[in-house]
Amino acid sequence: MTIAAINSRNQFKGQVVAVHRGSVVSEIEVETAAGIVSAVITTSSVDRLPLRVGDDVLAVFKATEVLVAKLSERA
Amino acid sequence: MTIAAINSRNQFKGQVVAVHRGSVVSEIEVETAAGIVSAVITTSSVDRLPLRVGDDVLAVFKATEVLVAKLSERA
Amino acid sequence: MTIAAINSRNQFKGQVVAVHRGSVVSEIEVETAAGIVSAVITTSSVDRLPLRVGDDVLAVFKATEVLVAKLSERA
Amino acid sequence: MTIAAINSRNQFKGQVVAVHRGSVVSEIEVETAAGIVSAVITTSSVDRLPLRVGDDVLAVFKATEVLVAKLSERA
Amino acid sequence: MTIAAINSRNQFKGQVVAVHRGSVVSEIEVETAAGIVSAVITTSSVDRLPLRVGDDVLAVFKATEVLVAKLSERA
Amino acid sequence: MTIAAINSRNQFKGQVVAVHRGSVVSEIEVETAAGIVSAVITTSSVDRLPLRVGDDVLAVFKATEVLVAKLSERA
């Protein structure tokens, strides 16, 4: 079964540079053009994919999950 | 009341380049170093901040909201 | 660029049976083995994929987004 | 205080078949008509409800949390 | 089918004081002890429950959805 | 860089009263006017801000993350 496209427009290509394993969830650091994107996913998923440092990945997140913070003039 | 810092590590600085208004929610496009980040927020928030094209902003999203998609070898 | 796998274990295969278009977001109904799964995505994504009634899709959602409601004995 | 209904249309009835405890969050596996739905909730909630293997539950998730992945023709 | 309890600890009791209808999603304002909690849900859910001004409700949100912003000393 | 405002209308001021540390995520309890709001954030964020018991904070969550549960007449 091959995925042709995902609806979410926010997709950042990058490489896994760190996997911080926990018993239930793990933090994955993905190096992208805009810097590190951090993802928390289940450790069972890390083992199932599997995900390892060096893998080419997409960091994907929905627009409804994004907050917008306005910066003050002195930004 | 000034916010010193937000917990979420995923914070991408950029500029609002488009506001697509809807009656209840609006889609905001933020131009960042990694390209466009799309956010869907309530239109009442757009008017309350207010948010306009040209504003300096942060696009913020939690690590728990990020999915990781593994790319196949032919990526 | 081909996606080999997505971390989220919650992936339900199905067919798009309805697209309720809005100006900014649209509601997509996916008929799966367990009944209808409803998704709200940006209308720009509906047009970009594109998504239409009859398409074979996966409805994907992270474990961290799932609430568990306990049913009383008389369930 | 009794809950008559929850807004989210995505409600899948099932039975808890596994609880993977962690110090802060736990992964709950719910066997539903469409297979296993995985939920990550706080371990304090697991103890407070309490949630145990065999419990009748609903796995609930909002439409805004669902991504739609289009499958390629060879799906 | 009666719901005995929901895992999420963040449950704020209140009354619906406004429903801003949109074609696909609607914004619901709930007056709680801590002020207004705003929810965006599908308009199909508003009609299905149904939800009207004056209804006694719970505003429920998962701990994983909450960001924590540290306030500066001059807060 | 100073944040002037965040889009999310759901912002509850309070004080950190507990930090339950885990290896990857931690649960933060914030005492607000409406009682305890629970947040699960990455432990790396707890150390980076840093967040400690007694800190003045805002608990922030998007309207799209809120579910509305209707209470039955006998509520």
- In angstroms, rounded to a whole number, what is the distance separating the alpha carbons of residues A54 and E13? 47
pLDDT tens digits along B26-59: 999 999 998 999 999 999 999 999 999 999 999 9
In a domain? residue D57? yes
Is there a contact between B34 and A29 (Cβ–Cβ < 8 Å)? no
What pLDDT is recorded for position B3? Answer: 81
Domain that holds residue F35: 10-65
Query: C69 touching E, CB under 8 A?
Result: yes
- Please name the amino acid found at residue B67: L
Mean pLDDT of A3-22: 93
Q: Closest approach of chain D CAs to the CA of F3, in angstroms?
A: 27
Burial E45-62 (b: 16+ CB within 10 A, else e): bbeebebeeebbbbbbbb
In a domain? residue C72? no
**ipTM, two decimals:** 0.94
Instruction: Mark residue B39 as left, alpha or beta (left: phi above 0; alpha: psi -120 to 50; beta: remaining).
Output: beta
Q: Which residue has the higher pLDDT, B52 or A75?
A: B52
CB pairs < 8 Å spanning A and B: 124
> Which chain B residue's Cα is nearest to C40?
B40
- pLDDT band for position E75 (50/70/90)? very low
β-strand pairing of E67-71 with B3-6: antiparallel
Q: Tell me the H-state helices in chain C.
A: 43-48
Among D2, D23, D62, whose Cβ lies nearest the Cβ of F74? D2
β-strand pairing of E25-32 with C56-61: unpaired
Subunit contact C57:D34, Cβ cutoff 8 A: no
Query: C33 touching A, CB under 8 A?
Result: no
Is there a contact between B4 and F37 (Cβ–Cβ < 8 Å)? no
Among D26, D27, D71, whose Cβ lies nearest the Cβ of A1? D71
What pLDDT is recorded for position D73? Answer: 67
Q: Which long-range contacts (CB under 8 A, 24 or more apart) does D24-27 make?
A: D24/F20, D24/F21, D24/F22, D24/F25, D24/F26, D24/F27, D24/F40, D25/A24, D25/A25, D25/E64, D25/F22, D25/F25, D25/F40, D26/A24, D27/A24, D27/A42, D27/A44, D27/C63
In a domain? residue A51? yes
Where residue C38 sits, what CATH number does that domain have? 2.40.50.100
In a domain? residue C74? no
What pLDDT is recorded for position F75? Answer: 45
Q: Tell me the H-state helices in F1-75.
A: 43-48
| Peptide bond just before A50 cis, omega within 30 deg | yes
Structurally, how many domains does chain E consist of? Answer: 1
Q: Which residue has the higher pLDDT, C57 or B74?
A: C57
Low-confidence ranges of chain D (pLDDT < 50): 75
Q: For the ranges A3-7, E6-10, E12-16, which has the lowest average pLDDT?
A: A3-7
The SS3 of residue E75 is coil
- Please name the amino acid found at residue F40: V
HEC sequence for chain D? CCEEEECCCEEEEEEEEEEECCCCEEEEEEEECCEEEEEEEEHHHHHHCCCCCCCEEEEEECHHHCEEEEECCCC
- pLDDT band for position C5 (50/70/90)? confident
- Which of C62, C64, C66 is the mutation pick for testing A, counting most A CBs within 10 A? C62
In a domain? residue E46? yes
Query: D7 touching E, CB under 8 A?
Result: yes
In a domain? residue B2? no
What is the biggest distance separating any 2 CA atoms in chain F, rounded to whole angstroms? 51
In a domain? residue F3? no
pLDDT tens digits along F18-61: 999 999 999 999 999 989 999 999 999 999 999 999 999 999 99
What pLDDT is recorded for position C27? Answer: 98
The SS3 of residue A12 is strand
In a domain? residue E25? yes
Is there a contact between B65 and A8 (Cβ–Cβ < 8 Å)? no
